[in-house]
Amino acid sequence: MLDAVPLSGCIRRMKVKFLLPLIVTVIVAAGCAKTVSGRHTAAVPFTKDRIEGRYERPLVQVYMAAKEVITANGMLLNEVTQHSATNTVVLALEGRVQEKKVFVAVSEVDPKVSSVVVQVRSGGGVSDVDLAHELEKQIGIRLATH
């Protein structure tokens, strides 16, 4: 008779031992990105996910405008202060707007100019550059009107 020989149990275990670490490595490497607030979040890699604007205003004024914009459009979740090795301070905000995660970092370029970087990600890690651009422009408008 030409019956198929059943596979031994060790072959199955070997396939699992080989494929499982490979799958886990691919998922971990492809699904994580650093946010402008210094944390890590789920993300689709290699996509543009942040918008930067520079304003001729002091750091604290730009930070307060960014905080007001996030609060007006959604919910502010966290405030972070980062210190780098070059003695620069980055003030960061985390919040939710339209069910999406919003990360904003404000840093001083020079004493008269500040930079604001807005990053937006959906629950699945997909970036939303349109919403990031809209929030960055609202920060600029808030600075111009106050």
CATH T-level assignment (fold) for domain 30-145 = TATA-Binding Protein (3.30.310)
pLDDT tens sequence across 27-77: 555 566 777 777 777 666 667 888 999 999 999 999 999 999 999 999 999
Return the number of other C-beta atoms located less than 10 Å from residue 135's C-beta.
26
Strand, coil or helix: what is 140?
helix
Task: Indicate if the pLDDT at residue 115 is higher than 80.
Answer: yes
Question: How is residue 67 written in tokens?
Answer: 């905080």
- What integer pLDDT is reported at residue 43 of this predicted model? 66
Inter-axis angle of helices 59-73 and 129-145, to 10 degrees?
120
Question: How is residue 86 written in tokens?
Answer: 């070059």
Separation between Cα atoms, residue 111 and residue 60, nearest integer Å:
11
- What integer pLDDT is reported at residue 6 of this predicted model? 59
Task: Indicate if the pLDDT at residue 119 is higher than 70.
Answer: yes
Separation between Cα atoms, residue 122 and residue 102, nearest integer Å:
9
Separation between Cα atoms, residue 11 and residue 22, nearest integer Å:
17
